[in-house]
Amino acid sequence: MTDVGTLASDTLFGLPLADIWFGLVFFILGMFLFLDGFDFGIGILFATRDEKHEREQLLAAITPFWDGNEVWLVVFGGALFAAFPAVYANLFSRHYLLMFAILGALILRGLAPEMYEQREDKPWQKWWGRAFIVGSFTAPFFLGIFIANWLLGTMALITLPGVITGLMVVALTVVDGVAFLRLKTRNELRDDVRADGFRALILYLILVVLTLGVVYITAPELQSALLSPLVVGLVVVNLVLTGIYAVATSFNRYYAAFVANAGLVFTLVSIIGSLMYPYIDRVEGLTVDEAIVSTLPLNIMSIGAALLLPLIFLYFGVLYSVFSGPIKVDESY
């Protein structure tokens, strides 16, 4: 029998680990929405580009990255399972069909670009191109529905707030995709997508206001949280960031636009987390403190995460710096 000492009785350094893991789960969700978000956005922009060389640039912009980006979703599932096993079990079995819809969309999105590049002929590329667009649109859409259902504690599959949130997340991924694409391209494509970015930004603004409004009306239990200084502050920051994104995009400040876009994603996720707290599963009435795993596995996971997260940032740093700068279309294998 291994002596685990105080690991089984006290949290590490007396830290509020339950709250930290709640924050971490949302941070990981934010990383997924931010990083895979531009993959989705570029997949949606794929629908607006007919020319072969433009489509190849869109694909080349994301091919080295999407696999790593998608792992944030795997880690989201794993972190929720490890830290809040009851929530993992309840939430994913409750939204059974929705989860499978998300997974199905992600299969389509991941597979389509691989397939697209296998053959040169037109019908093949036309159909896999369509599959790529459909997968890239539906994955964030269903994910948005899932997030709304989770927040509102809905049992139903599809609700009005869900659909609005889903569309808002889709608009946000296009905003994200445009910001990333403008960093990665140097030709007329860079100028062409600017208008798409503005359209998506306006749509996002409308939908985010609508979402908050619908949440306010349909979920009376969230009204006081919505009016709390923290959430109001986050909403204001989110709206200011859309302004910064618009200005930076107008003046072709590519990095500034991309950073503002990252801020948009993370403030949005923070708003959702703040609205939910202290609950993590409203249907079961579970708060963060009630749902957290026992102290020993919690401490072990916390040590693991503290050691591994810096390494993960290092990996992503290496990956993105290796592929920094403009796309080279014919580079592969």
Residues 39-98 that bind other proteins (CB under 8 A): 57, 63-65, 67-68, 70-71, 73-75, 77-79, 81-83, 85-86, 88-94, 96-97
Dihedral sign, Cα of residue 267, residue 269, residue 273, residue 276:
positive
Q: Which of these, 333, 318, 240, 223, lies nearest to 275 by C-alpha position?
A: 223
Of 138, 185, 211, 249, the one binding other proteins by CB under 8 A: 185
Helix (H, G, I), strand (E, B) or coil at 20: helix
Residues in the chain: 333
When the beta carbons of 171 and 182 are compared against other proteins, the nearer one is 182
Q: How far is the CB of 233 from other proteins (least distance, A)?
A: 31
The least distance separating other proteins from the CB of residue 58, rounded to whole angstroms, comes to 11
Residue 185 CB, shortest distance to other proteins, in Å, is 7
Closest approach of Cβ 324 to other proteins, in Å? Answer: 9
Q: Which amino acid is at 83?
A: A
Question: Which range of residues in 161-169, 207-215, 226-234, 312-320 is near other proteins by CB under 8 A?
Answer: 312-320
Show the CA angle centred on residue 120, arms to residues 118 and 123, nearest 5°: 100
CB 272 within 8 A of CB 253: no
| Closest CB to other proteins among residues 88, 245 | 88
Number of residues this chain uses to bind other proteins (CB under 8 A): 73
Which of 28, 212 has the CB closer to other proteins?
28
Tokens 């539906």 belong to 138
C-alpha distances in angstroms, 47 versus 10, 80, 164, 192, 327? 54, 34, 22, 14, 20
Contacts (Cβ under 8 Å, ≥6 apart) of 147: 29, 165, 169, 272
Q: How far is the CB of 126 from other proteins (least distance, A)?
A: 16
Q: Where are the beta strands (DSSP E) in the chain?
A: 279-281, 286-287
Instruction: Write each residue from 112 to 151 as x if it is in contact with other proteins (CB under 8 A), else as -, in one continuous string.
Output: --xx--xx--------------------------------
Instruction: Select from 12-20, 43-51, 101-109, 265-273 the region that touches other proteins (CB under 8 A).
Output: 101-109
Binding segment toward other proteins, per CB under 8 A, in 105-113, 166-174, 224-232, 271-279:
105-113
If one asks whether residue 323 binds other proteins (CB under 8 A), the answer comes out as yes
How many whole angstroms separate alpha carbon 98 and alpha carbon 106? 12
- Residue for token pair 């949005």: 268
Measured CA to CA, the distance from residue 294 to residue 177 in angstroms comes to 40
Indicate the residue type of 49.
Answer: R
- Unique residue bearing structure tokens 């503005």: 198
Within 186-205, the residues that bind other proteins by CB under 8 A are: 186-187
Nearer to other proteins, 267 or 295 (CB): 295
Element (H, E) at 274: helix 254-276
Q: Does 224 bind other proteins (CB under 8 A)?
A: no
Q: Compute how many other C-beta atoms are within 10 angstroms of the C-beta atom of residue 251.
A: 10
Question: Interacting stretch for other proteins, rule CB under 8 A, among 9-17, 206-214, 261-269, 290-298?
Answer: 290-298
* Residue 301 tokens, joined: 């996971």
In the list 198, 244, 290, 316, the residue contacting other proteins (rule: CB under 8 A) is 316
- As a whole number of angstroms, the distance between CA 31 and CA 39 comes to 13
We find the least distance from the C-beta atom of residue 285 to other proteins, in angstroms, to be: 13
The smaller minimum CB distance to other proteins, of residues 264 and 305, is found at 305
- Pick the stretch among 165-173, 198-206, 264-272, 324-332 that binds other proteins (CB under 8 A): 324-332
| 306: contact with other proteins by CB under 8 A | no
Nearer to other proteins, 131 or 175 (CB): 131
